[in-house]
Structure 1
Amino acid sequence: MLLRPLLIACLALPAFAEIYKHVDKDGQVTYSNIPIKGAKRMALDPVPDSIPAPRSHAGGSKPRASQTPTPASFPRVDSGTQKNRDQGRRQILMDEMASEQKLLADSRQRLSSAPQDAKLREKALFHEKNIEILQKEIARIN
C-alpha cells in the first residue's frame, strides 16, 4: 500500500525536456527535444511552475505596463540572474543574426544571377525582414 503513494509522488514531479539547436549546411536552424547529429544542447533556465492569470480591468481598456503594479505573488528574479538571462538571450539573437546575414548574402548572390526570379527576391526580402526584427530585439536588451 505504501508503494502506490510513492509512485504517484514520483509521477507528479515536473517534467522538462532538453532542447537542441541544429544548423544545417544551408544555415537552416532547427530546435528540437530530440538530439540530432551535430546539434548543440541549449542551456535553458526552467520555466516557473505557475504563472498568475491576468486580471480583467474595469472600463474595457487595458492599462499600460507602467501603470500596472506588479502583484506581490509575482515571481522575483535577482539582478544577477536577470543579467545572465539577458546575456544568454542576446547571444541567441546574435547567433540568429549571423545566420540570417549569411542567408541574406547567399540569397542576394543567387538573385544577382537571376534578377527576374520572384522566389529569390521574396527569399531575400524575408531575410532582410528577419534581420530588421532581430536588430530591434537586440536593441531592446541593451
Structure 2
Amino acid sequence: MNRLLSGLLLFIGVHAYAHAQAEVYLCVDDNGKKEYKNTGAVKGCKKVDLQGITVLPAPTPPAAGKKPQGKPASSPSDFPKVDDSTQKARDSDRKQILMDELKTEEQKLANIKKEYNNGEPERRGDERNFAKYQERTNLMKEDISRTEKNIEALKREIANAK
C-alpha cells in the first residue's frame, strides 16, 4: 500500500512539474513592464509557445589505454602558412622590441633609484608635511619594485625568444 501511494504521489508530482513547465505566459502591466508567469489569469497575459528541449547524450570517453580513433586535428588547407624567412624576421623584430623595452625599463630604474637616494630623496617645497614626504618615498619604493619585476619578466621573455 505504501509503495502504491508513494508511486502515485511521485507520478502526480512529475506530471504537475511537466505541466507547469509546459505553459508559460507573457504578461505586460499598465507601465509596459514584461513578466513571465506560469498562470495567465491576469489581464494582459498571452500564452507563449516554447520549443521543447532536445537532449543529446554525451559522447563516451575512450577506454583507458586506448587511443581515440580518427586523425588528429590539423589546420585547414586554406589556413595561411608563413615561410621560415618571414617567421625568422618576425622573431627577430619581437626580440628587438623586447630588448628596446628592457633598455627603457633599465633606464627608468636607474633614474628612480637616483631620485630615491637610498630611501632619503630630497624634500620638495610642497612637502612641508612629513606624511606627504613619506607617501612620495613609499611610491618611489613601489615604482622601483615594479620596474625590477618588469625587467625580470622582459629578461625571461628574451631568453624564451628564438
Higher radius of gyration, 1 or 2: 2
Where on the TM-score scale, by shorter chain, does this alignment land: which range? Answer: 0.3 to 0.5
TM-score (norm. length: structure 2): 0.42
